Amino acid sequence: MSVKNEVLHILERYKGNSVSGQELADLSRVSRNAVWKAIKSLKDEGYHIQTSSKGYSLSLSSDILSAEGIRLYLNEEFKNIPLTVYKTIGSTNTEAKLLAVQNAVHGTTVMAEEQTMGRGRFGRDFFSPSGSGLYMSIILKPRLSMENSVLVTTAAAVAVCRAIEKITDLSPLIKWVNDIFIDNRKVCGILTEAVTNFETGMMDSVVVGIGVNVKTKNEDFPFELRDIAGSILDNENKSVRNQLTAEIINNVLNMSKNLGDRSFMQDYKERSMILGQDILYKKDNLWHEGYAIDIDDYGGLIIHTPDGQKITLNSGEVSIKKKF
């Protein structure tokens, strides 16, 4: 770990409290001058570090994503996972897929403050501005067949909801299959992509891409998203992004241990915003009407059609039918 990262790790651990230059030097096993250079570099990167006669203090409102800040909240068993945070990247999923092909280990996570080519389902753009969201991709080695791959997405949706519930008083809901809503506005999208072994038919790796609007202001969204998208928080000074990131990682990695037992499916159903609703669903590029009955053990959406049939969707788009 570099001196700068070591100093940041200490300041994050004692966030809001002063740590003397000598303590930083002793804990980092470097000179006071090296600490001063590290502090200057961190300030240049945007960290709000206050200097006083007592030493250096990282502001409680500082909310820059960092591996050091995230690791503080990771469960002990996950503290040493490979974790990289970029200031700007094209797409965390693209980078994670490259790492997966290079045999990156289970739990490897790629994060970014900003994505310039963020992607959602069906090749759509995912708005990923700097400083207000979290954009992450986690590499999993779940040992699942392709037909069970949707379980990863459903588990990830529950993982995000549990993380939001833990650090806020909010009650997020899931719109099948991969969107998280709060107060009827989308705050999170999930994109899972498989790296497959064609000889065995099993997935070698799954990249779970998660994008969360943490405190993006409504006026900052593109015009076409302002009536649809929302954010978790309306207080831009609240520092939660490192903790929220860690809680999502903790949940995803814990749940990935036993995806096959489907123990998370009940939580998924309880948080569903479409079960028991008249819906529109897209199939073969056409929109159809239906009624959402249930979600099966594989994450498929069971629909009752107007002509009395029951069908199961394993992928596609749905929306709640508006009532007039």
Joined together, the tokens standing for residue 39 give 């502090």
Mean pLDDT of the chain: 89
Report CA-CA distances (Å) from 297 to 74, 129, 260, 301: 30, 36, 10, 10
Amino acid present at 9: H
Over 60: is that where the pLDDT of 123 sits? Answer: no
Q: What does the pLDDT read at residue 323?
A: 61
Over 80: is that where the pLDDT of 148 sits? Answer: no
Q: What does the pLDDT read at residue 212?
A: 94
Q: What does the pLDDT read at residue 86?
A: 93
CB 175 within 8 A of CB 243: no
In terms of C-beta density within 10 A (0-12 exposed, 13-18 middle, 19 or more buried), how is residue 167 classed? middle
Q: Please state, in angstroms and rounded to a whole number, the distance separating the CA atoms of residues 83 and 184.
A: 33
Helices (DSSP H) in 237-305: which residue ranges?
Answer: 241-256, 265-270
Q: What does the pLDDT read at residue 105?
A: 95
Q: What does the pLDDT read at residue 301?
A: 93
143-157, 221-235, 270-284: which is most confident: 270-284
DSSP letters spanning 31-81: -HHHHHHHHHHHHHTT--EEEETTEEEE-TT-----HHHHHTTS-GGGTTS
Report CA-CA distances (Å) from 47 to 11, 36, 40, 63: 11, 14, 10, 8
Q: What does the pLDDT read at residue 200?
A: 63
Helices (DSSP H) in 149-240: which residue ranges?
Answer: 150-167
Question: Which sequence spans correspond to the domains of the chain?
Answer: 3-58, 67-270, 278-320
Q: What does the pLDDT read at residue 235?
A: 65
Q: What does the pLDDT read at residue 216?
A: 87
In terms of C-beta density within 10 A (0-12 exposed, 13-18 middle, 19 or more buried), how is residue 96 classed? buried
Q: Which residue has the tokens 């998924």?
A: 268
**How many residues does this entry show for the chain?**
324
Q: Please state, in angstroms and rounded to a whole number, the distance separating the CA atoms of residues 60 and 39.
A: 16
Determine if the pTM surpasses 0.85: yes
Over 60: is that where the pLDDT of 188 sits? Answer: yes
CB 95 within 8 A of CB 207: no
Percent of the chain with pLDDT over 70: 92
pLDDT, tens digit (0-9, with 9 covering 90-100), for 54-65: 999 999 888 999
Third-level CATH fold of 278-320 = SH3 type barrels. (2.30.30)
Number of other residues whose CB lies within 10 A of the CB of residue 288: 14
Q: Which residue has the tokens 């006669």?
A: 53
Res. 125 pLDDT band, cuts 50 70 90? low
Q: What does the pLDDT read at residue 272?
A: 95
Q: What does the pLDDT read at residue 149?
A: 73
Joined together, the tokens standing for residue 190 give 């999930």
Q: What does the pLDDT read at residue 309?
A: 93
Q: Please state, in angstroms and rounded to a whole number, the distance separating the CA atoms of residues 310 and 305.
A: 6
Domains 67-270 and 278-320 share a fold: no
Bridging pattern class, strands 179-182 and 185-197: antiparallel
Centroid of chain to Cα 64:
15
Pick the CATH number of 3-58 from 3.40.50.300, 1.10.10.10, 2.60.40.420, 3.50.50.60: 1.10.10.10
SS3 content of the chain, % helix, strand, coil (to 5): 30, 30, 40
CATH code for the domain defined by 67-270: 3.30.930.10
pLDDT, tens digit (0-9, with 9 covering 90-100), for 14-23: 999 999 999 9
